[in-house]
């Protein structure tokens, strides 16, 4: 199949409309081939690597029902419809960690699983942190932990950190701050 062939959406059928995502089945034509795709539609999310003045990274440990256990992660959350991406990152940082940041640097953006999911994650480095107060969503139950970059790199290598966005964010922030792996 040629990349230059036109891809046409022939139609779609909404299957589920939820709080966080929607699910639709799309009928697609790519050249002479017609097929269906089940697509989860998501507004996208922000991921923040908050680095305190002492060089430690603010992390959250929360129960993830899909994984069936508590996972250690960097703060993250869903972008609301039509919300500015950096403002969403600032909101999530304060909600989950109870801090604001004087500096936000975008590290990257990536699709989580583009075979079936429209979600794109935007990863930020947050520095110049100022403590305020946590403002968790009613269904967020988490604890805050802080670790040095060397400890986080070790935790990634030995499988203690299992979350892909956290691995990506920690590695990119460490490289940006020129922390030795």
Give dist(CA 167, CA 45) in Å, integer: 16
pLDDT of 82 above 90 = yes
pLDDT of 166 above 70 = yes
Where does the pLDDT of residue 68 fall: very low under 50, low under 70, confident under 90, or very high at 90 and above? very high
Check which CATH number belongs to the domain holding 125 and give it.
3.90.79.10
Residue 4: predicted pLDDT: 61
Closest CA to 95 of 54, 56, 62, 53: 62
Together in a domain, 134 and 157: yes
3-state DSSP percent of the chain in helix, strand and coil, to 5: 20, 45, 35
Residue 163: predicted pLDDT: 98
Residue 176: predicted pLDDT: 97
Mean pLDDT of the chain: 94
Closest CA to 132 of 93, 167, 105, 159: 93
pLDDT of 113 above 90 = yes
pTM exceeding 0.85: yes
Together in a domain, 82 and 11: no
pLDDT digits (tens, 9 = 90+) for 132-150: 988 787 877 899 999 999 9
Together in a domain, 75 and 137: yes
In a domain, 181, yes or no: no
Closest CA to 95 of 54, 60, 56: 60
Enumerate the active-site residues: 138
- Identify the domain containing residue 31 by its residue range: 7-41
**Which 3-state string (H, E, C) describes 37-69?**
EEEEECCCEEEEEEECCCCCEEEEEEEECCCCE
pLDDT of 102 above 70 = yes
């Amino acid at each position: 199949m040629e990349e230059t062939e036109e891809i046409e959406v022939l139609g779609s059928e909404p299957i589920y409309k939820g709080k966080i995502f929607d699910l639709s089945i799309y009928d697609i034509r790519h050249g002479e081939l017609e097929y269906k795709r089940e697509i989860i539609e998501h507004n996208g999310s922000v991921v923040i690597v908050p680095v305190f003045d002492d060089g430690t990274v603010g992390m959250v440990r929360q129960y993830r029902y899909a994984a069936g256990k508590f996972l250690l992660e960097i703060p993250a959350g869903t972008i609301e419809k039509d919300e500015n991406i950096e403002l969403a990152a600032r909101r999530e940082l304060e909600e989950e960690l109870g801090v604001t940041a004087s500096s936000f640097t975008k590290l990257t953006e990536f699709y989580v699983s583009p075979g079936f999911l429209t979600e794109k994650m935007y990863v930020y480095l947050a520095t110049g942190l100022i403590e305020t107060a946590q403002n968790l969503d009613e269904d967020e139950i988490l604890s805050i932990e802080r670790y040095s970059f060397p400890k986080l790199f070790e935790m990634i290598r030995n499988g203690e950190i299992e979350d892909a966005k956290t691995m990506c964010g920690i590695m990119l922030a460490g490289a940006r701050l020129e922390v030795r792996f």
